[in-house]
Structure 1
Amino acid sequence: MPDAEPRNLFEKFFATVSYMLDGPTVWVKEKIVEPNQKSYPWYHQKFRRVPTIDECYTDDVVCVFEADAQYRRDRQVESEILSILRERFESCTLYEAPDHMEKCTPLFREYENAATNWFIKYGDLGAYHNAKSAYMKQKHRMIWERRHGPVGSGKKTDTVDSTQE
């Protein structure tokens, strides 16, 4: 408690010496350094959200470029999230060695769900893909699900029986 009043001459002397040494550094930090600092470090830069590829006109090259750049950033972030989830599950299995199947199951389910969602969005696109190819994949998946039901559930059965007609 440096703001408390010193009780005796000894404490008053050391408080004065402390203020003499600490005062100029605090003044430089508060008056010079902090006002000139950026509000974020370089690795936490926040990009503004731009229109997605479906909101761009076909001849708007700048919009398509920005949508591709945002798509690459989003893919990189989601890949890193998936990597962190995988590392958490692996460290849990190492830490909980004999009983890891019971104790690490929620982490495994979360990782599997995230991996499935990542594959639905980015999987099977090839090496050189962009926002347009990912958008087309999403569109084709939605058409498939409308015609045949959810992927992996088997073929959709017809509701009208041909013998009743």
Structure 2
Amino acid sequence: MGADNPQNGFNAFIKSLNNVLDTPVTWFRESVVARSRQEYPWYHRQFQRVPTIDECYTDDIVCYIEADEQFKRDRMVDNEVLNILRQRMEDCVMYEGPDAGRKCVKLREDYEKAAENWFIKYGDLGAHGNVVDAFMKQKHRMLWERRHGPVGSGMKNKI
């Protein structure tokens, strides 16, 4: 045995052990598992967007129910996004300790802006708020802003 083929006893043992243990597992994975798997482009269910409540006729109950279900799904997604942002901010504060006020500013701003937007859309609706309640809230906010300026900026002075 020369330098080209270092086939000593230990290498032969490792090769035979590989043939006994790894080869059947590799064959099973490539021929059974990989062939039976399907490619999923998403790891969660994708729903087709439906018309919103302002696009529904007043007597179209099916459209109302679809819009309400979409609203509930959107609220759950927004809740999870807000929870993730909150958790990231809290993790940063716990990790950074005394320096968190300086190092976690971007995460805190992102969370506060997302929480403000969440409250603008879903706040004061309660647990049983539906799409019509949210639509009326949006309508009332738009009317208020048209008459008095942005919410929180104080009322316009009448001239």
Instruction: State the TM-score bracket (shorter-chain normalisation).
Output: 0.7 to 0.9
Equivalent position SS for 1:44: coil
* Residue 129 (structure 1) aligns with: 129
Sort the Cα spacing of 1:36 and 1:52 in 2 relative to 1 into closer, same or farther, 3 A.
farther
Aligned counterparts, 1:1-165, within 5 A: 33-34=33-34, 36-40=36-40, 44-158=44-158, 161=159
* Stretch deviating more after TM superposition (131-140 or 36-45): 36-45
Provide the rounded CA distance (Å) in 2 between the counterparts of 1:101 and 1:119: 24
Residue 116 of structure 1: CA displacement?
0.2
Equivalent position SS for 1:98: helix
Sort the Cα spacing of 1:58 and 1:8 in 2 relative to 1 into closer, same or farther, 3 A.
farther
Provide the rounded CA distance (Å) in 1 between the counterparts of 2:36 and 2:64: 36
Provide structure 2 residue ranges, at least 5 long, that are not aligned to the other structure.
none
Provide structure 1 residue ranges, at least 5 long, that are not aligned to the other structure.
1-6
Equivalent position SS for 2:47: coil
Structure 1 residue identity aligned to 2:84:
I
Per-residue Cα deviation, 1:29-70 (whole angstroms, up to 9, x for no partner): 667655654543995111111111111111111111111111
Provide the rounded CA distance (Å) in 1 between the counterparts of 2:48 and 2:36: 23
| TM-score with structure 1 setting the length | 0.75
Sort the Cα spacing of 1:66 and 1:19 in 2 relative to 1 into closer, same or farther, 3 A.
farther
Provide the rounded CA distance (Å) in 2 between the counterparts of 1:154 and 1:147: 11
Sort the Cα spacing of 1:87 and 1:8 in 2 relative to 1 into closer, same or farther, 3 A.
same
User: Which 4+ stretches in 1 moved above 4 angstroms?
Assistant: 7-11, 17-36
Provide the rounded CA distance (Å) in 1 between the counterparts of 2:155 and 2:144: 10
Structure 2 residue identity aligned to 1:85:
L
Provide the rounded CA distance (Å) in 2 between the counterparts of 1:52 and 1:105: 36
Residue 127 of structure 1: CA displacement?
2.7
